[in-house]
């Protein structure tokens, strides 16, 4: 780590080796983060440039940071909500749940290059099943909507998924939802530890399903929620494979993640290793910027049974 910090403060001679590093001070950080305030903003510039107050000196850094945050801040809470809901559905020992658990956990084990290849083909706008299913749904909807509103749904466009700057992020979020089985297992384990007496008592008091969830299940499971939240956020901010393997020109850098940008900076010409280290430290700083407040406020919303 110290080596990384030192490297981020130095400059190398455009070669992929440990030789010829010279001291550069905070130059990389200034280069990466600085913003040209004299730039006049155009309407087609990204909206967050207005927040920054000008054109960034390294626009791709901000693009990748924006992409990583956008992806993580949507995919992680959505994934947790889905896996929590599924865990509450299948935690009961009724027949078939063991099989369902295995089937739902399997994707998170399989995630990798092979499944990314399969997904990219499944999401193919022309010959993939997802868009085929969407079009069939639109056709069905047409029968209901057209008599009511006079306008059909058959002509609704199906998204281009990985081939458009707008829908490439939802495509990755969909893939993320597919792999949330690990969080689900931890939720199931947590749900099984909730003492059944609490539910007996609540039922005697006539509490319905939602109050039971709000007052018993949720507080008892907050430690698992906290754990899963941190782990998934850390993982999704470091996503590399998705953006490396599924990138194409038509996305217009729509899924360029920070991890990929670090890799490109370091291992593609001109091999700016020092600058890449500085970028990696910016990634770490952003991660901490989110983790530290969550951990601090966790004392208020995470319920510890023994009060530790």
DSSP 38: T
Residue selected from 13, 17, 48, 157 as contacting another protein according to rule CB under 8 A: 17
Q: What is the CA radius of gyration of the chain?
A: 24
Helix boundaries (H) for 9-58: 27-33, 48-52
**Residue 125 or 152 with smaller CB distance to another protein:** 125
Between CA 289 and CA 282 the distance in angstroms is 10
Site string for another protein, 272-291 (x = CB under 8 A): -x--xx-xxx-xx--xx--x
87 binds another protein, rule: CB under 8 A: no
Between CA 202 and CA 52 the distance in angstroms is 51
Between CA 163 and CA 165 the distance in angstroms is 7
102 binds another protein, rule: CB under 8 A: yes
186 binds another protein, rule: CB under 8 A: yes
105 binds another protein, rule: CB under 8 A: yes
Q: Are the C-beta atoms of 154 and 138 separated by less than 8 Å?
A: yes
201 binds another protein, rule: CB under 8 A: no
- In whole angstroms, the minimum distance from the beta carbon of 77 to another protein comes to 18
Query: Residue 263 has which token pair?
Result: 């890799």
171 binds another protein, rule: CB under 8 A: no
Q: How many CA atoms lie within 13 A of 152 on its CB side?
A: 10
**Residue 147 or 196 with smaller CB distance to another protein:** 196
109 binds another protein, rule: CB under 8 A: yes
H or E element in which residue 222 lies: helix 218-237
Q: How far is CA 244 from the centre of its chain?
A: 15
- In whole angstroms, the minimum distance from the beta carbon of 233 to another protein comes to 10
111 binds another protein, rule: CB under 8 A: yes
Torsion angle, CA of 176/107/226/92, rounded to 10 degrees? 130
Closest CA to 294 of 77, 12, 21: 77
Stretch that binds another protein, among 49-57, 85-93, 140-148, 150-158 (CB under 8 A): 85-93
Stretch that binds another protein, among 51-59, 73-81, 122-130, 158-166 (CB under 8 A): 122-130
178 binds another protein, rule: CB under 8 A: yes
Give the CA distances from residue 19 to residues 11, 64, 244, in Å, rounded to whole numbers and listed in that order: 11, 29, 28
- In whole angstroms, the minimum distance from the beta carbon of 200 to another protein comes to 7
205 binds another protein, rule: CB under 8 A: no
Q: Are the C-beta atoms of 265 and 244 separated by less than 8 Å?
A: no
- In whole angstroms, the minimum distance from the beta carbon of 82 to another protein comes to 9
Question: 123-142: which residues touch another protein (CB under 8 A)?
Answer: 126-129, 132, 135
- In whole angstroms, the minimum distance from the beta carbon of 93 to another protein comes to 7
- In whole angstroms, the minimum distance from the beta carbon of 39 to another protein comes to 29
Question: 237-266: which residues touch another protein (CB under 8 A)?
Answer: 237-238, 240-241, 244-245, 258-259, 262-263, 266
Closest CA to 84 of 230, 221, 196, 207: 221
Q: What are the start-end ranges of the E strands in 63-210?
A: none
106 binds another protein, rule: CB under 8 A: yes
């Amino acid at each position: 780590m110290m080596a990384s910090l030192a490297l981020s403060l130095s400059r190398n001679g455009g070669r992929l080796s440990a030789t010829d590093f010279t001291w550069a001070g905070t130059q990389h950080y200034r280069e990466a983060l600085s913003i040209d305030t004299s730039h006049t903003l155009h309407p087609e510039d990204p909206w967050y440039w207005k927040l920054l107050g000008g054109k960034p000196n390294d626009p791709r850094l901000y693009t990748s940071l924006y992409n990583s945050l956008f992806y993580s801040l949507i995919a992680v809470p959505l994934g947790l909500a889905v896996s929590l809901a599924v865990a509450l559905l299948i935690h009961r020992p009724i027949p078939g749940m063991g099989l369902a658990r295995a089937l739902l956990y399997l994707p998170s084990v399989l995630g990798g290059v092979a499944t990314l290849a399969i997904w990219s083909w499944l999401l193919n706008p022309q010959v993939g099943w997802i868009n085929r299913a969407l079009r069939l749904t639109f056709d069905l909807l047409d029968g209901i909507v057209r008599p009511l509103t006079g306008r059909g749904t058959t002509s609704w466009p199906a998204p281009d998924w990985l081939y458009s700057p707008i829908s490439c992020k939802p495509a990755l979020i969909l893939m993320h939802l597919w792999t949330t089985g690990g969080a689900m297992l931890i939720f199931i384990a947590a749900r099984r530890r909730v003492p059944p007496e609490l539910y007996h008592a609540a039922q005697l008091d006539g509490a319905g399903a939602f109050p039971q969830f709000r007052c018993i299940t949720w507080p008892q499971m907050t430690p698992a929620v906290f754990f899963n939240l941190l782990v998934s956020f850390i993982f999704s901010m470091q996503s590399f494979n998705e953006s490396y393997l599924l990138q194409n020109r038509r996305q217009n850098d729509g899924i360029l993640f920070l991890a990929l940008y670090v890799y490109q900076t370091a291992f593609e010409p001109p091999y700016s290793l020092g600058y890449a280290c500085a970028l990696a430290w910016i990634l770490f700083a952003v991660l901490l910027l989110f983790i530290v407040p969550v951990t601090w406020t966790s004392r208020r919303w995470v319920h510890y049974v023994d009060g530790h």
